Amino acid sequence: MIPGKKQILVADDEPNLRRVLGAQLTRDGHEVHLVEDGLAALKCLTENHIDLVITDLKMPGLDGMGLLRKALEMDANLPVVMITAHGTVDNAVEALKTGAFDYVTKPFDQEELRTIVKKALMTRDLAARDATRADSAPHSRYGIIGQSPAVLEVYSLIDRVVDSPTTVLVTGESGTGKELVARALHESSARKNRPFIKVNCAAIPRELIESEFFGHERGAFTGAINAKPGRFELASGGTLFLDEIGAIPLETQVKLLRALQEGEFERVGGVRTIQVDVRLVAATNADLRKQIEEGTFREDLFYRLNVVEVKLPALRDRAFDIPLLVDHFISKYNARLNKSVQGITPEALSLLTSYSWPGNVRELENVIERAVLFTDGPKVQVEHLPAEIANKGRPGSDATSQEVGLKEQVRAAMSQLERQLIHKALEQTGGNVTHTARLLKLSRKGLQLKMKELGLRDAMKQNLKDDDELLEG
């Protein structure tokens, strides 16, 4: 295959026609495969990535109509153009009904053929583009999972700013993925091989924040024994992520604004002006507009930061994405915890989708991690969810975990323990039920009953060696 060239298959039993067609299509810049009958054409279709078929109707072996049907079975979007003898309109009509793209009559006009080929290839391209678009109706981009309109909007915003130096402000409640977006912006940009430097502005004492940002010279203040570059310098050429930007003291805000506007600053106690090329991403879960009204955040800095705002939705406002996220985290923690949980029961999932998620995606991730850890069967069940979520599904539901009866808690813990012990014993015996029963000092039938009760039998069916069906039905 020649890159960039379209591949056209010509099937005709007349050597002369093959030669003429082949010459013209090659001249027009296509890669051409010439075959003399339908069967050879099929073989060629399986071996190459053909974009267009031009075939004669009458051929020995498999004829043009037969080839058309087979070709469309293999690839419903493959354009097939029929060559028909002059005056055989019925055949042409039949071919079109069967799904041929078009037909040309012999002897054919070069210009007519050229137009048809062009149109067919264009249609092919469009179909291919639609197909990829449908396949990848994105549910995960930049490592961000989601398919709800709000998340699709986030994807397209990131697309738009990823390679511009624009400052981006990421806003959203705690745990909505602000840092994830900041890293995504960095990882997908041309800066990805340069540093990504994160500063949590809320975690730095206010008297140190300026030197943290801009560095300091030796002796700039008590304790400044050596000169030290700040985060701006360290991020040079890369991305500086200022998390919790709302926590910056007003006096530092002025300096930050200047650094952003002029692209230059001085170290604390220094006179030398330092210039750096840094892409700034800021994040906040505070309402900066409200802070402006209260006088704790500078309006000019806000507008400088807020060139592009990526607003992350709260998880409760995009419950549509919860099943996707649940699948994603189950796979993640299967791998991490060496488990093989296959999914979640509909009841458990429905509890997750109706919960309010004050901690957003971070909270969901923690809930799934714990559930994967506790699940021994194939699926996460209601009982594997934390009480404040699981109890929502029960009658008289406002019960907190303390209010669940002691007996009930003990029973749940016992089952969990039994499950673990049996599981471990089965692993030791390589899934041999007789040996496991002996190991646990149970009767074989007793073990099978217990396993059924705990849901272990179904979960482990594949791994059990001499498990009989005596309990079935």
User: Contact residues for Mg ion (CB under 5 A)?
Assistant: 179
Q: Which is nearer to Mg ion, 94 or 179 (CB)?
A: 179
Cβ atoms of residues 191 and 239 within 8 Å: yes
- Among candidates 192, 300, 289, 285, which has minimal Cα distance to 243? 285
| C-beta neighbour count of 243 within 10 angstroms | 20
| Interface residues toward ligand ATP, by CB under 6 A | 144-146, 172, 174-180, 285, 361-362, 365
Cβ neighbours around 346 below 10 Å, total: 9
- Tell me if residue 338 falls in helix, strand or coil: coil
Nearest to 82 by CA among 42, 128, 32, 120: 120
Give the C-alpha distances (Å, rounded to integers) separating 73 from 68, 99, 131. 9, 11, 17
CA-to-CA distance for 354 and 359, rounded, in angstroms?
14
Q: Exposed/middle/buried for 368, CB within 10 Å: 0-12, 13-18, 19+?
A: buried
DSSP 138: -
What's the CA gap between 57 and 38, in Å, rounded?
9
- Partner in contact with 180, chosen from Mg ion, ligand ATP, none, beta carbon below 5 to 8 Å by kind: ligand ATP
Q: How far apart are alpha carbons 376 and 196 in whole angstroms?
A: 40
Judged by beta carbon distances under 5 to 8 A according to partner kind, the member of ligand ATP, Mg ion, none in contact with residue 365 is: ligand ATP
Cβ proximity to ligand ATP, 57 vs 280, nearer residue = 280
Nearest to ligand ATP of 56, 363 (CB atom): 363
Tell me whether residue 105 or residue 148 sits nearer to ligand ATP (CB atom): 148
Radius of gyration of the chain (CA): 34
* Minimum distance of ligand ATP from residue 138's CB (angstroms): 12
Q: Identify which of residues 170 and 344 has a Cβ nearer to Mg ion in the complex.
A: 170
- Of 233 and 365, the one with the shorter C-beta distance to ligand ATP is 365
Is residue 239 classed exposed, middle or buried when 0-12, 13-18 and 19+ CB atoms within 10 A define those classes?
buried
Residues whose CB falls within 8 Å of the CB of residue 18, separated by 6 or more in sequence, listed in order = 10, 12, 34, 36
Shortest Cβ 200–ligand ATP spacing (Å): 8
**Residue whose Cβ sits closest to ligand ATP:** 177
What the block records as the tokens of 255 is 């300096």
Per-residue tokens: 325: 């996220």
Pick from ligand ATP, Mg ion, none: which does 188 bind, CB < 5 to 8 A by kind?
A: none
Residue placing its CB nearer to ligand ATP in the complex, 285 or 350? 285
In contact, 335 and 195? CB cutoff 8 Å: no
Could you tell me which residues come within 8 angstroms of residue 96 by beta carbon, excluding any fewer than 6 positions away? 102, 103
From ligand ATP, Mg ion, none, interface partner of 42 (C-beta below 5 to 8 A by class): none
Contact between 466 and 434 (Cβ < 8 Å): yes
Minimum distance between the CB of residue 292 and ligand ATP, rounded to whole angstroms? Answer: 20
Nearest to 231 by CA among 169, 281, 294: 281
| Partner in contact with 174, chosen from Mg ion, ligand ATP, none, beta carbon below 5 to 8 Å by kind | ligand ATP
- Return the number of the residue (141 or 183) whose C-beta is nearest Mg ion: 183
Q: Which is nearer to ligand ATP, 33 or 178 (by Cβ)?
A: 178
For the CB of residue 194, give the shortest distance to ligand ATP in the complex, in Å.
Answer: 21
Closer residue to Mg ion in complex, CB, 211/360: 360
Which residue number places its CB atom closest to Mg ion? 179
What is the closest distance, in whole angstroms, from the C-beta atom of residue 44 to Mg ion in the complex? 56
- Nearest distance, CB of residue 260 and ligand ATP, angstroms: 21
User: Whole-number minimum distance, CB 148 to ligand ATP, in Å?
Assistant: 10
Task: Quote the least distance from Cβ 315 to ligand ATP, whole Å.
Answer: 8
Q: Helix 360-374 vs helix 346-354: angle between axes, to the nearest 10 degrees?
A: 160
Q: How far is the CB of 367 from ligand ATP (least distance, A)?
A: 12
Q: Which does 91 bind (CB under 5 to 8 A by kind): ligand ATP, Mg ion, none?
A: none
Using CB distances below 5 to 8 A depending on partner kind, what does residue 33 bind out of Mg ion, ligand ATP, none?
A: none
Choose among Mg ion, ligand ATP, none what residue 268 binds, the Cβ cut-off being 5 to 8 Å by kind.
none
State the nearest-atom distance from the C-beta of 361 to ligand ATP, in Å: 3
